A and B are shown apart, each in its own frame.
Chain A
Amino acid sequence: ETGVTQTPRHLVMGMTNKKSLKCEQHLGHNAMYWYKQSAKKPLELMFVYSLEERVENNSVPSRFSPECPNSSHLFLHLHTLQPEDSALYLCASSQDPQGPITGELFFGEGSRLTVL
């Protein structure tokens, strides 16, 4: 496989469920990202991991819990979500930027989450 792979592609969960989104990159990158795309809103950065350490956390509610066990894998653990959390969750990777991002992000196809 090549690129950035996300599973599952679609997820429906109740507000009391616990589920996880998985992302895997095969590009040799060492920075990984979670973005949220809600309807009619810009892509919102949620978390950034560089060299498996979290370097950015954009005031995301604690019901979203990221995990980066190694530079190729990134998880987003979901717990007691709200209906307004329904969105497309996109994973991305890049080479670890030493300064502002000047290179491209490589995105996965996204996980469409519906919270009932």
Chain B
Amino acid sequence: DQQVKQNSPSLSVQEGRISILNCDYTNSMFDYFLWYKKYPAEGPTFLISISSIKDKNEDGRFTVFLNKSAKHLSLHIVPSQPGDSAVYFCAASGSGGSNYKLTFGKGTLLTVNP
């Protein structure tokens, strides 16, 4: 059973608009959440993270929101740029898993059209 779910396999937005990528989790013991970005033929790279003690973390154009009661997080990219086109993975960790384990979602392919 998937503990981290990204229900949208793909998302397409226009350049300059907001991209919103969503992630749901089922394990209430998760207390740290990360987003990774992956370009074709490259490994995933860390983008932004949030601890469960916060509900928002912002880094430039990227903001992650956490709603613990809904077990939901989202990544907002504003404004979206064509270079943001990539697969975005949501990941979670916490005392519900082993110390070394990040649980990943399947990813959402974001396409930003010029």
Chain A contacts to B: CB under 8 angstroms: 4, 6, 31, 33, 40-43, 45, 48, 50, 55-56, 90, 92, 97-102, 104-110
Contact = CB atoms under 8 A, between A and B. Distances in A.
B102 A42 contact: no
A76 B98 CA distance: 22
B60 interface: no
Nearest to A31: B100
A98 B93 CA distance: 13
A55 to B, nearest CB: 6
Given A42-B105, A43-B104, A100 B31 contact: yes
Interface of B: 2, 4, 31-32, 34, 36, 41-46, 49, 51, 89, 91, 93-95, 97-107
A4 B98 contact: no
A100 B95 contact: yes
A41 B6 CA distance: 11
Contacts of B103: 42
Contacts of B100: 31, 33, 45, 48, 50, 55-56, 97, 101
Contacts of A99: 99
A104 B106 contact: no
A45 B44 contact: no
B44 A42 contact: no
A104 B46 contact: yes
Contacts of B2: 42
Contacts of A55: 99-100
Nearest to A41: B106
A57 to B, nearest CB: 11
A89 B95 CA distance: 26
A68 to B, nearest CB: 13
Contacts of A104: 34, 46, 49
Contact of A105 (B42, B95, B97, B102): B102
20 contacts: A31-B100, A42-B2, A42-B4, A42-B103, A42-B106, A43-B44, A43-B102, A43-B104, A56-B98, A56-B100, A90-B43, A100-B31, A100-B93, A100-B99, A104-B49, A105-B44, A105-B102, A106-B46, A107-B45, A109-B41
